[in-house]
Chains A and B, each alone.
Chain A
Amino acid sequence: MRRMKLAITGLTACSGCQLTLLNCEDELPELLGHCELVYFPLAESGNVLDVQFDAAIVEGAVSTPKDLELLFKLRNASTHLVAYGTCALFGGVAAMNNRVSTRRELLRSVFGAGEKLPESFPPVPLANFVSVDAAVTGCPPEKQEIMELVVALAAGTLPPARSYPVCTECRSHENLCLLLEKRELCLGPVVQGGCNARCPATGIVCEGCRGPVREANVAQELELLLERGFGRDEIERRMSRFKPEWDYGKRS
């Protein structure tokens, strides 16, 4: 089988998605036999961009002219472009304040007034600028999901998208329901599953790191949380942690 040519990189991000790939210790040696890491600065030297890639796997949101330049290059050079992780798909943590403060205010409060500010705009998903062929969500993504993706790409196809919420897996594990039974601010009902409900399994609420599930009943979640006495501000703040815009009136 021909080894597929891959580009793997990050934009505005923490490298966690790329690290997740390197954390597949058992699969990595075999995986490396099936692909050519033409552009993967985190783990390879001598990277080149001016080739045709079978796929570019891109972590992170877009927030600088340099991010945008690299994204366009990779889109043009790749058969498939994969949005890898929550930041690439929804903006992620760097975007949480997009609706409440301007980029300039944020930059000034970190880099000081009167100083030269880095060039930067509000972090947004890849799809705001380019077409995206496949996605792996999560902050961080599950190892199994990035493996599924790479194996599918090697087979010339794309992995199926998941469309069930965190609650599905959480209930099947018979975890205590933190939302209904402990009245905590759990986002499980509106957040995409596939993580085996990791957080609720340890008794910690779903913080929503995988972004919205398809057809999320956002309005119902909002009502449930309001009924439990949480303030609208607090709810919106928590919902925005990984994705700044939600349609709070949406019912599925």
Chain B
Amino acid sequence: MGSVVEIAPLTRLEGHGSVRVYREGRRVERVELQFIDSPRLFEALLLGKSFAEVPEIICRICALCSTVHKVTALLAVEDAFGVEVSEVTALTRELMLQAGMIQDHALHLYCLVLPDLLGVRGVAELARVAPDLLKTGLAIKKVGNQITETAGGRLIHPVNIRLGGLGRSLTRNELARLRDELQKVLPAAQEAHRLFNTPFPFPELPTPDFLVLQPAEHPLGAQACSMVGRASFPLRDYRQHIEETVLDYSNAKLSRVHGKEATVGALARLNLHPDLEGGAGALFKSHKQELVGKDMRGNNLAQAIEMYHATERALRLIDRLIELGPRQEETAAPSPRAATGCAACEAPRGVLIHSYSFDSQGICTMADVITPTALNQGALARDLLALARGMEGEETNRMTTALERLIRCYDPCISCSVHVLSL
């Protein structure tokens, strides 16, 4: 007899989602992954708004990733109007991206994943059973947030980064304070991999088709998308390579790249860009066996290594900013023209693409945003089915726990995914 197991709402992740497992006796027939956040229709809201308003509005897609949405939107608008920014502005933006990586990975690992490893309900129980671990995680997270708040003027939906420049550049004292704070958490960030290297006690999953941006050395200058085993394609042509389908059971559209379910994010980056600098590079080498060519069960370990990498990289960026010295930069005021701009960044969860068209007055006539969670949705659904099938006959409870843990490996951000894809 057929039966349906529902996990709703999905917990310890951003947004509203659910999973349904359809079974015929013991056999798993299919698995439905639903992203059911209420659609907010940003691309439609942006039409008719001025170019200057676009980055300020679009960052509200998602709180967790608001910095990278804002930076990507600024880059896309600047691309449309041919605006160049100074080195200080570019460094400050990249510093904020690294800070976002630190805060986002720390939040996910220490507040959302750690309860699974310790067998507790969530952050409240963590505070009782593992207060020191939680405090360590919160301390790392806090430094990411301090950078964002100092450089961005506000922690979520930062305001200080703007078209063509900065509201104000950071003072030497501010930079020195941030450097000290980063140095304090560096040892903890370096050790995080030990905690999140815990083996995942469930069956093997399909090998992912990783997708990343290139070149990795220029986080603000992505030119192409590269997929394992495929020729890379220019960012500008992304529409020809990424197809989307509307699903009748989910508010997010399904994206396929080259007809495959792409996997983006930390594990994808470490697989395709394994040449990390500094201590994180050495750390990655010692974990290669668990990461290269592996399935998504390795993603939390990859996030831990990236968190350390972002901490180191943020320190280098700050050193460079201190070297350049504080200066009040002239903001390059964009002059609007009829044009289309496109930009992409590696968000904590993976490839994020923004594209906008403007008329000669700078009024937005097209907006398109491809988010990492929308890209990952197909691979996540595929893995859920594989995992459920691999656990046929096991207790339902054990299976649903495993499915939830798998979803947390992907670290989905559902409010990003559900309303930002236009046809």
Contacts and interface: CB of A to CB of B under 8 A. Distances in A.
Contacts of A12: 37-38, 40
Interface string B2-34: 000000011111111000000000000000000
27 contacts: A19-B156, A22-B107, A23-B141, A23-B155, A25-B139, A25-B142, A26-B142, A28-B138, A33-B127, A35-B124, A36-B124, A37-B124, A41-B12, A42-B14, A43-B124, A63-B40, A94-B38, A107-B39, A111-B423, A116-B248, A118-B38, A204-B160, A234-B50, A237-B50, A237-B53, A241-B53, A241-B56
Contacts of B248: 116
A132 B162 CA distance: 36
A252 interface: no
Contacts of A28: 123, 127, 138
Interface string B153-184: 11111011010000110000000000000000
Contacts, number: 194
A214 to B, nearest CB: 23
Contact of A25 (B41, B141, B422): B141
Interface stretch (A159-167, A194-202, A221-229): A194-202
B153 A199 contact: yes
Interface of B: 9-16, 36-41, 43-45, 47-50, 53, 56-57, 60-64, 66, 107, 111-112, 115, 121-124, 127-128, 131, 134-135, 138-139, 141-142, 145, 153-157, 159-160, 162, 167-168, 246, 248, 251, 404, 415, 419, 421-423
A22 B124 CA distance: 11
B263 to A, nearest CB: 23
A172 interface: no
A105 B47 CA distance: 12
Interface of A: 10-20, 22-23, 25-26, 28-29, 32-33, 35-37, 40-47, 60, 63-64, 66-67, 92-94, 96-97, 101, 105-107, 109-112, 115-116, 118, 120, 123, 139-140, 143, 198-199, 201-204, 207, 209, 234, 237-238, 241
Contacts of B64: 15, 19
Contacts of A26: 142
Given A11-B38, A120-B39, A106 B60 contact: no
Contact of A16 (B122, B128, B131, B156): B156
A110 B41 contact: yes
SS class, residues of chain B in contact with chain A: loop
A159 to B, nearest CB: 20
Contact of A44 (B11, B49, B415): B11
B127 A32 contact: yes
Given A13-B415, A110-B44, A202 B168 contact: yes
Nearest to B115: A45
B49 A237 contact: yes
B39 A41 contact: no
Contact of B421 (A110, A199, A202): A110
Contacts of B115: 45
B44 A64 contact: no
B145 A23 contact: yes
A3 to B, nearest CB: 10
B44 A97 contact: yes
Nearest to A100: B48
Contacts of A63: 38-40
B150 to A, nearest CB: 11
B11 A41 contact: yes
Given A109-B41, A199-B153, A237-B48, 5 more contacts: A16-B62, A19-B63, A25-B145, A41-B11, A140-B154
Given A16-B63, A199-B153, A44 B47 contact: no
A140 B64 CA distance: 11
Contacts of B168: 202-203
Contacts of A42: 11-14
Nearest to B14: A15
Nearest to A234: B50
A26 B142 CA distance: 8
B154 A198 contact: yes
